[in-house]
Amino acid sequence: MPGMMRIKLNAKSIKRYRQVIGVLFKYGFENLLERLNLAHLIARGVRLFRRGEAKVALLSPAERMRLAFEELGPTFIKLGQVLSTRSDIIPANYVAEFAKLQDMVPGFPLSEVRTQIRDQLGGEIEEFFSFFSEAPVAAASIAQVHRANLVTGEDVVVKVLRPGVEDSVETDIDILMGLAMLAERHFPGSETFDPMGLVKEFARTIRREMDLSREGRTIEKFALNFSGEPGLYFPAVYWKQTARGVLTLEYVNGIKVSDLAALDLAGFDRKLLARRGADFFLRQVLVHGFFHGDPHPGNVFIMPENVVCLLDYGMVGRLDAPSRAFLTDFLLAIINRDVDKIISILLYSGDITDIPDIRGLKRDLSDFLDNYYDVPPREAIVGKMLVDFIEIIASYRIVFRPDFMLLAKALMTIEGMGRTLDPAFDMVEHLRPFMEVAARERFSLGYIARDVGSHFQSYINLAKNLPDDIKEILNRINRNKFKIDLEHRGLDHLIRELDKSSNRLSSSLIIAALIVGSSLIMLTSKGPHLMGFPLLAMLGYSIAALIGLWLVLAILRSGRL
């Protein structure tokens, strides 16, 4: 496996590698495998005679990739769901397809639930619960949920991690790391999208999701951030019945925010709910810098007195103070249609240091803002504006931070729910007060003093460390230990093509030699005969014919005559 020398391998991962590569080949991604130098792992007979399943031959590449992810299971489904928020690095058609990925799978039996609870909580189900539903109320690739009652009588829901899922996910993460490493080596320009960094971020996300006790701590952090807020409710966490692989929460009896008929029948104020939900989310983002990453309608319940309860805290985003300041300036520039300000923010944000075609970017941003210029603020869809903007700058290879991408999708979901509850809902009206407060804080004496102090401390640290750094460099030069590592990109593909050409040329020479030699034997009529012909000549012609047939098939399969 020459292309995989630096990849972590063991018996389990090799088997999974072959499965992943086989599925990708099945759905017609052989060219991708060849670029990654992995096509040699497919059985030669399969490569010669099977180019992919007929049932997927007419599907688009995005649809085929979605089907491949679904067949590969939980880790790849989660990866697709994460990529569906990254319109800055993958095309829009892939984003749309990956958004369709659902990790609904059959539930695992109660016997395995018992084993998990025994291993995680140190006792039998009956020691903790007076009632425990045999069938799950929801099942996904990572965990499943059961209704239950504690022995003390509380009505709860219990989320139980799927047995063996952590081992399988870790194996898949190793494989994704290997594929990302190969992508960085064989795809010129891939450093713009940082495949290794993308996989590391995904690994962090899915590992956090598999730690159910972390989700419990997240709920309590949200509850602390909004303590004393009468319009919000957070389910209680029962820590005695919670561990890494088991999470026990208070059962919330409410109406789904998407059930408008039930909300109206119960007399809820839909306009108030829309305002409350938007304020709740914007405070998460712009005040606390800690927000729910998946606030879809199925996770939002409405309780008596127009109280909003948000469920499922497995996916959260974080924005530190500099990121919130960047976001505030950025949204203000979009709303005010200030193209120069937008480009200035992009250039001096700290993440982006160069834009090769500023004139083209400025033109495209002006066209983008012109499309929304005649749209009244009340009708403007902020989330969609943000997503459209990200697609434009992605064409200039400007990559946003992952949490910003998660925020854009969550904001669009929240705004959609607000407009469903109240057709006159205006997200811009809700955004302005938060951004004005943030802007005032930016110019306060306390903020300026902290900012100046932070930069001054950084310069002091730089001045203190600079002499030692220079001394270390000079010592390395004097000891002939100063090295610069160079890494070529894209040459492996050329080398493989040259190998193929030389192999085909060698095969052609062997065929020619066999034909010439067999013809000479045929003329001299030496050696044993078969049906009146020299046996050695017949054998030479047969071998030449087989090699020639194999060579023709290989050329036809490559599509390059």
Query: Any idea which residues carry the catalytic annotation?
Result: 294
Q: Contacts from 282-288 at CB under 8 Å and sequence distance 24+?
A: 282/430, 282/431, 282/434, 283/226, 283/434, 284/222, 284/225, 285/319, 285/324, 285/327, 285/407, 285/411, 286/324, 286/327, 286/328, 286/434, 286/435, 286/438, 287/434, 288/225
Cβ–Cβ under 8 Å, residues 202 and 176 = yes
Give which of 240, 299, 79 is closest to 173, Cα–Cα: 79
Helices and strands (H, E) in the chain, number of each type:
22, 13
Distance CA(290)–CA(375), nearest Å, equals: 31
Distance CA(371)–CA(487), nearest Å, equals: 44
Distance CA(47)–CA(50), nearest Å, equals: 6
If phi > 0 it is left, if psi is from -120 to 50 it is alpha, else beta; for residue 291 that is beta
Beta bridge partners of 525: none
In this structure, the number of other CB atoms found within 10 A of the CB of residue 249 comes to 24
Cβ–Cβ under 8 Å, residues 387 and 412 = yes
Distance CA(433)–CA(275), nearest Å, equals: 13
Element containing residue 327 per DSSP (H, E): helix 321-335
